Structure 1
Amino acid sequence: MTRKWRPSLGLVIGGALAGTLVLSFLGLIALRYLGPEIGFRQAAMVLGVIIAAITAVPGWLLVRLLLRPIHDLETYAAAQEQGQDAPAPRHFGTKEIDTTARGVISMAEALRDREATIRSYTDHVTHELKTPVSAIRAAVELLSDDPELSADNRVLLEQINGARLQMEAQLEALREAAQAREVRYLGTCEISEVIAELQGDHPILTLTLEGVATRFPISGKGMAIILSQLLRNAAEHGAQTVQLVATAGQLTLQDDGSGISDGNAARIFEPFFTTKRESGGTGMGLAVVRNILHAHRGEIALVPSQTGTRFEIDFAQP
């Protein structure tokens, strides 16, 4: 289908400026010749009305070709950010706005399709592996009831069962990671609104909150999920106290645990990387945290610290 011709932005703005200049010049000429005939005051009033009426035409064109398309594109982008299924705008003004808008719409559709593909593939993989994992579990339970099973075979059976538990944990972590790429916890919150809940969920830790009262662009539920994972990691590394410092757009967590070794520091956000595989670790906790933060224009980084572990969470300023 042939794309409709659209004027360039330079033509629209240049035409509006040129038209205004020409109209003002013609008004001065008309006033010079019309003033002596009907009076300069009356001539100025008549010409003012005529000029205002004619100027309304380029004003209407600017609204139609510039302001309305930009507003429609802004509304569409806001709907996509909120996860709403809003129809894409169909009408654009100038050539430049048309090109930019179509690029934004194509990018939004590509990102939505990519997320849907990842979610579909994850669901397919976890569903297909569920049956063989269930079969392994049933076989382990059946063989465990055999009184004639030798000690060596029982050790082997325990290893098989441990591998099965690890597979189930990895599949669940994979589902959580895929979900974290899509789910957004819309709203805002202050850390003071969730710290009581966090303290109750992690009674072995002593939490302190310092800094200014600032609202972060994520709901309290989303912030609680992020901080719970970080506090869980702190407890697993022997921490007893965790200090949270809130500033404008940034949240810092400092614990007094054993810290993270230099060799592991560069890999802690990699999916499935863990040093606690034998105790059921999946290595997806920090990956999920990072995905949730990315969905809210946030970043998390491990910052060098003389004692314990220090994380900094930064949210993009609006």
Structure 2
Amino acid sequence: MTRRWRPNLAFVLGGALAGTLGLSFAGLIALRYLGPEIGFRNAAILLAAAIALATAVLAWLLVRLLLRPIRALETYAVAAETGSAAVPPLHFGTRELHATARRVIAMAETLRDREAAVRAFSDHVTHEFRTPVSAILAAAELLADGGTLTPADAALVGQIEGASAQIEAQLAALRNAVRAREARYTGSSTLSDLLRRLSDDWPALQLDAEGDSMEIPIGEEGLNIVLTQLFRNAVENGASAISLRAVAHGPEIQLLVADDGTGISAGNAPRVFDPFFTTRREAGGTGMGLAIVRNLLQAHGASIALAPSAKGTTFLLTFLQPEA
């Protein structure tokens, strides 16, 4: 493959500035000598046309070497971010832009490969476990239907059935966690878009909202998934009221979700977002709810963290405002 020559950025910018300055001096000198020969009016018109043409050439070079490669790289990055078909740029302009673009493309491809590997692993694990778990569950049901089990044996079969159901729930939660990393809920939404829906879904909760007209950079369905999981956790911890507050803080939109439940102990707080961590294992908890919320938010450039709270639990969701 033929190696294409690419100027460095300093050469391009320096050449553009030198060319602009040179055109100005050349115009003054040419006007000094052409004016007496063909008239200053005609000389000015001729020189203006020549300078405009030379400036247009410089502008074309800057567009080709700087603006077009930057826009092409931006288009590629947006396509990679939204999951669309991302075609790498063909032209990179200067050496610096070429190096930067290659690194950005390599990073995007590495992240895509990692996500594909995680998805393939989760699909493989869930597929391989589904058959033996189903076989164990079917065998336990056959034993229970036989009617000849002693109370102790029946209790043991019940434990086997419960464990099988719990494994199936964990596998389903694992699939949902991986899908949350891939889901894209583009657009924006407000709390007012969801208040009626949340009130209908959680009639026992008293809802209070501030900043309900604040635009939050995530689609309504995605925000509903996040808040539904946080509401579910709050109810499971004895909450009867939840407060939502959206505020703009510099380049960020912060959403505080506070409940009046029993709260999270200091010992458990560092682990609440860890996959499969739960204090409700006996009640069927999978420990994947907050992990799914975190994955979904991370897929949208947002984050979630525990915030200090005198009572109950408060989560701080932080979104980056889209650039204008």
Shift in Å at residue 55 of structure 1?
2.0
Are the aligned partners of 1:144 and 1:154 in contact in 2 as well (CA < 8 Å)? yes
Are the aligned partners of 1:213 and 1:247 in contact in 2 as well (CA < 8 Å)? no
Residue in 1 aligned with 2:119?
A: 119
Moved more, 18-27 or 149-158: 18-27
The two structures, once aligned, show a CA RMSD in angstroms of 1.2
Q: Which runs of 5+ in 1 are unaligned?
A: none
- Map residues 1-318 of structure 1 onto 2, 5 A cutoff: 1-211=1-211, 213-248=213-248, 249-318=253-322
Q: Distance in 2 between matches of 1:26 and 1:223?
A: 62
Q: Counterpart amino acid of 1:297?
A: G
Moved more, 201-210 or 227-236: 201-210
Are the aligned partners of 1:212 and 1:247 in contact in 2 as well (CA < 8 Å)? no
Q: Distance in 2 between matches of 1:115 and 1:22?
A: 53
How many aligned positions are there? 318
Are the aligned partners of 2:35 and 2:41 in contact in 1 as well (CA < 8 Å)? yes
Shift in Å at residue 212 of structure 1?
5.3
Q: Distance in 1 between matches of 2:129 and 2:210?
A: 46
Q: Distance in 2 between matches of 1:222 and 1:229?
A: 11
Q: Distance in 2 between matches of 1:33 and 1:308?
A: 85
Q: Distance in 2 between matches of 1:220 and 1:38?
A: 70
Moved more, 98-107 or 17-26: 17-26
Are the aligned partners of 2:208 and 2:242 in contact in 1 as well (CA < 8 Å)? yes
Shift in Å at residue 2 of structure 1?
4.7
Shift in Å at residue 8 of structure 1?
0.4
Shift in Å at residue 16 of structure 1?
1.4
CA deviations on 1:47-98 (whole Å, 9 max, x unpaired) are 1111211222111111111111111111111122221013111111111111
Give the alignment's TM-score, normalised by structure 1: 0.97
Identity %: 60
SS at match of 1:99: helix
Shift in Å at residue 109 of structure 1?
1.1
Are the aligned partners of 2:190 and 2:212 in contact in 1 as well (CA < 8 Å)? no
Moved more, 136-145 or 34-43: 34-43
Give the alignment's TM-score, normalised by structure 2: 0.95
Moved more, 235-244 or 21-30: 21-30
